[in-house]
Amino acid sequence: KNIANNTVMIVSHKYGTDVAAVTDAALATAGNSYLAFYNAGALGPKGIAKRAVKDTAKAAIGVDQAEVDRRARVAPDKEQGIKDLMEVVETGEPSKKKG
């Protein structure tokens, strides 16, 4: 998107705002076309089969989707960082990390 914005600025400077507006629309159309093509690939037989197999496997092994979604929203080290901070606040010194 940054390349498209820079291109529009250059075209605006060189050819004027009318041509820049057309360039902006053309680049937006090209980007949207690419996204549509990319997303359509997920709707093909392979994409649908892959999704079905993944969902079935998750159900078979008992994955709790709500827990997976909760963990995905939290950065992996965020909880550990909070625990380390609380330990420093409580004890006054950082813990000795293994490793």
The predicted structure's pLDDT at residue 18: 92
Element (H, E) at 74: none
Stated pTM of the model = 0.44
Q: What integer pLDDT is reported at residue 81 of this predicted model?
A: 57
The model's pLDDT over 2-31, given as tens digits with 9 standing for 90+, comes to 788 888 889 998 999 999 999 999 999 998
pLDDT for 43-70, tens place per residue? 888 888 888 898 888 888 887 878 777 7
Tokens 């159309």 locate to 29
Average pLDDT, the chain: 79
95 near 87, Cβ under 8 Å? yes
